[in-house]
Amino acid sequence: MAETKVTSVRADEETTAQFKSLLEQFPNGTECLKTLLNAYELEQAKGILTGQGTDISDFQAHADSLVRAYITALDLTANAENRIRSEFHELFDSKDRIIQDLQHRAEAAEQRLEEMSDAVSTSKTLTKH
C-alpha cells in the first residue's frame, strides 16, 4: 500500500469549502482524490483520443448505470432484510400472545374443573345424607 502524505494546495475559500464538502462524502481523503483523478483521466482521454470520445462517454454511462444498479440492489436487499426481520418479530410476538392466552385459558379451565369436581363431591355428600 502506498504511503500517504499530507500535501498543501493553494485555493480560494470557496474552492476549499467545496472540496471539504466533497471529502465528507467519502470514507477518506485518498478515496476522494482517486475518484477525482479517475474522472479527470476519463476527460483527458476524451481529448486525446478524439475519435473515441463518444465510446468513452458511453462506457462511462454504462459504468455509472452499473454502479447505480448495484446500489439499488444493495438497498433492496437491506430493505428486504429489515422487512423480513420485522415480519418475523411480529409473528413471534403474535405466537407469544397466543401461547399466553392459551395458558390462561388452560388455567381457567383447570380451575373450573376443580370447582365442578368440588361441587359434584359436595352434591354426592349431600345426597347420601
Residue 129: the pLDDT is: 63
Per-residue model confidence (pLDDT) at position 73: 95
Q: What is the pLDDT of residue 97?
A: 95
| pLDDT per position as a tens digit, 73-109 | 999 999 998 899 999 999 999 999 999 999 999 999 9
Q: How far apart are CA 33 and CA 23, in angstroms?
A: 9
Domain boundaries in the chain? 14-48, 62-129
Spell out where 3-63 has E strands. Answer: none
Looking at per-residue confidence, does 83 or 124 come out higher? 83
* 10-55 pLDDT tens trace: 889 998 898 888 888 888 888 888 888 888 898 888 888 888 888 8
The C-alpha cell that represents 100 in the structure block: 399466553
What does the alpha-carbon distance between residue 85 and residue 74 come to, in Å, rounded to a whole number?
16
- On whether the CB atoms of residues 11 and 19 are closer than 8 A, the answer is yes
C-alpha cell at 108: 381457567
Nearest to 35 by CA among 46, 23, 48: 23
